[in-house]
Chain A
Amino acid sequence: MIDVLSSLLILAGLFFYLAGSIGLLRLPDLYSRLHALTKADNLGLGLLIAGLALQAQDLLIAFKLLLIWLAILAASATNAHLIARQARRLESGS
């Protein structure tokens, strides 16, 4: 039962990764690409980690996985912000 649930979560996570990657390649401009990448990755990673946490031996490992997700969430949001800000600045500058 738990195995099925965690497999479903991981598969769903992988789907978001796929969608994000396609978005990165296909979307027209930087902002929409960033949007696709961060949104999909955060959600994809969240689902992936939820799936893995179900497989964890004890609570400590599940907690560590959660911590990883939070750290990446914050880092990718900040990165997206920095990239977008730099892009805006370059546009207004030229």
Chain B
Amino acid sequence: MNALMLLVFDGLLLLGIVSLAWASLASSDDRNSVILFMAFGLVLAVAWGRLMAADVALAEAAIGAGLSGALLLAAVRKRPAQMAAGRANNSHNPDRTGVNMLLQWSVTLLCAALAGTLAWALLDAFSSTPHETLPQAISANLEASGVSNPVTAVLLNFRAYDTLLELAVLLTAVLGILAMGRATAVYQPAGPIFDGLVRWLVPVLILTAGYLLWVGAHAPGGAFQAGATLAAAGVVLHLAGHPRIGLPAGFALRILMAAGVAVFLAVGLSLLVMGRPFLGYPPAWAGALILIIESAAMLAIAATLVLAFVGAFPRSTATRAASRQVREEEAR
């Protein structure tokens, strides 16, 4: 009975996920497509929860659906003039004649073949018993890793080098975005009701971020989930029309952006100089070192994600004029 109910639940969940993905990609309107994609991300988070991947579920909800969704929605947010102009090229009319039809069918066939081949290989892999050597090695060394949440242990100890490079990827993306120097349009100041929400939501988000960071050592959570939550506070502030988004300016902001990679590197290289391997924490200090790295990483992740959303270094002088312009255009 229980197994059957679970099977029905899985089936419905997967049906929902696949149809949301399909609807998002096939929708004729960009904005609908983005909203469906966000829904897809949220349902995906439920699936991760179902598969006992709580860490991933948190990250998916905060980053995959939340921040990606905010970025994408900002990208389809258009001023009225653009909306009218863009409608013509926006509505995607697949050309149903001749060569195009042939192309569509051959690509579809190719993708079906890919799905089939992938499924064939995956089923073959599933047909043998799962490999337990690596999970066993992880639980055997968990004691020495400094944290008791195995996912955090993998991310910040066993495979910490991946995470260092991943922070470098995030930094690279933001440097590329800032080099393009095109900020997203500024939002008008919030009305009293939205402002009321912002007033207590932002502190709660900051508190939640701190909690997620702390709890990551022994339960689902960690720097990435915490950083994304902190970034969400910044995005909310930006949406409410706050020009500075709570970020410092100039040199301090650069330090904040670089903090994740810099602290990670500093810890790794100090250990190297002390005669240990790069990022080879002594077991007694591992917990503390991981917390230091994670705190810096959280701040850097939050700052970079907010900057990625805003698209440029925040400037308070230009914003007033820009927001007035947006308001005028919206009124038109």
Taking Cβ atoms with an 8 Å cutoff, the residues of A that contact B are 71, 74-75, 78, 81-82, 85, 89, 93
B residues 314-332 in Cβ contact with A at 8 Å: 330-332
B331 in contact with A93 (CB, 8 Å): yes
A82 in contact with B201 (CB, 8 Å): no
Partner of B201, one of A74, A81, A89: A74
Query: How distant is A83 from chain B, measured CB to nearest CB, in Å?
Result: 11
| CA–CA, A71 and B194, complex, Å | 13
List 8 tightest A-B contacts by C-beta distance, closest first: A78-B197, A81-B193, A78-B194, A74-B197, A78-B193, A82-B194, A93-B331, A75-B197
| 16 further contact pairs, Cβ within 8 A, besides A78-B193, A85-B191 | A71-B201, A71-B204, A74-B197, A74-B200, A74-B201, A75-B197, A75-B201, A78-B194, A78-B196, A78-B197, A81-B193, A81-B194, A82-B193, A82-B194, A89-B330, A93-B332
Query: How distant is B96 from chain A, measured CB to nearest CB, in Å?
Result: 30
Taking Cβ atoms with an 8 Å cutoff, the residues of B that contact A are 191, 193-194, 196-197, 200-201, 204, 330-332
| CA–CA, A71 and B193, complex, Å | 15
The residues of B that contact A71 with a CB separation of less than 8 Å are: 201, 204
Query: How distant is A84 from chain B, measured CB to nearest CB, in Å?
Result: 11
Query: How distant is B71 from chain A, measured CB to nearest CB, in Å?
Result: 19
| CA–CA, A85 and B192, complex, Å | 12
| CA–CA, A82 and B193, complex, Å | 9
Listed by A's residue number, 6 A-B pairs whose Cβ atoms lie within 8 Å are A74-B197, A74-B200, A74-B201, A82-B193, A82-B194, A93-B331
